[in-house]
């Protein structure tokens, strides 16, 4: 098996998975208290207060993974076809993907300790990542060489991002965003966090209805 003949996006894709998993699980192993994906953000692994020994590893993993994503998205040109619409959609996907990769690097540079800067770059990354998953799935779904099971996997991944997307699109106020992040970072039960987010969204919708009737 001659790896040198693999497409650059394939090599970079493997590197992305290996780098992120290796650094994340190592950081997780060094986390001093019980860590659960249900009760904690991934960013808690990069918080030097919560994870003094493993934070630097998680943040370094985000930076290296983000760097590896650049050749991954750049290498998607291999999927270009004579179909102009698909080619343009792939180009848009590449552009958004490159910015998403940069955002992931910034998440590592501005860890959870940085407060609002970390929230900003995390929000940008997850929103762009959602767009990339959707656009890539649409542009490649009908490609003759594209494996359909991968497309279905992408649909499942998009579903996992929907809660975060709703919170951003509804335009939560600054204080409410900080409150929601605070509740999510504390070792609370997932049900309590969900109740807080639903309450915020409900209040926002009520305010919009009042404004609409006032007009």
Residue 3's pLDDT is: 62
Report whether pLDDT(195) > 90.
Answer: no
**Please, are residues 98 and 73 in contact by the beta-carbon 8 Å criterion?**
yes
Question: What is the tally of structural domains in the chain?
Answer: 2
Residues 83, 125 share a domain: yes
Report whether pLDDT(97) > 70.
Answer: yes
135-158 pLDDT, tens digit per residue, is 887 777 776 666 656 555 655 555
Measuring CA to CA, which residue among 144, 149, 10 is closest to residue 83? 144
Report whether pLDDT(131) > 80.
Answer: yes
Residues 207, 115 share a domain: no
pTM: 0.68
Report the largest interatomic distance among the alpha carbons of the chain, rounded to a whole angstrom.
Answer: 68
Residues 89, 70 share a domain: yes
φ and ψ at residue 119, rounded to 5 degrees: -60, -40
Range 75-104 burial, b when 16+ CB lie within 10 A, else e: bbeebeeeeeebeebbeebbebbbbbbbbb
Residues 32, 83 share a domain: yes
Residues 134, 57 share a domain: yes
Residues 149, 98 share a domain: yes
- Provide the residue range defining the domain that includes 181: 173-215
Residues 210, 121 share a domain: no
């Amino acid at each position: 098996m001659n790896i040198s003949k693999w497409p650059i996006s394939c090599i970079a894709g493997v590197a992305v998975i290996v780098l992120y998993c290796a650094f994340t699980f190592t950081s997780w192993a060094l986390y001093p208290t019980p860590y659960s994906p249900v009760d904690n953000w991934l960013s808690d692994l990069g918080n030097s207060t919560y994870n003094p020994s493993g934070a630097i590893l998680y943040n370094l993993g985000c930076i290296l993974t983000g760097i590896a994503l650049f050749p991954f998205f750049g290498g998607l040109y291999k999927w270009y076809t004579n179909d102009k619409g698909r080619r343009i959609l792939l180009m848009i996907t590449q552009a958004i993907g490159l910015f998403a990769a940069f955002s992931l690097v910034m998440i590592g540079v501005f860890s959870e300790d940085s407060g609002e800067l970390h929230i900003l770059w995390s929000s940008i990354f997850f929103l762009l990542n959602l767009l990339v998953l959707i656009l890539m799935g649409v542009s490649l779904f009908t490609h003759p060489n594209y494996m359909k099971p991968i497309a279905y996997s992408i649909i499942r991944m998009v579903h996992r991002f929907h809660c975060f997307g709703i919170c951003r699109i509804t335009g939560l106020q600054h204080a409410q965003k900080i409150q929601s992040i605070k509740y999510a970072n504390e070792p609370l039960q997932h049900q309590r966090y969900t109740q807080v987010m639903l309450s915020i969204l409900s209040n926002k919708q009520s305010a919009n209805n009042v404004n609409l009737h006032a007009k």
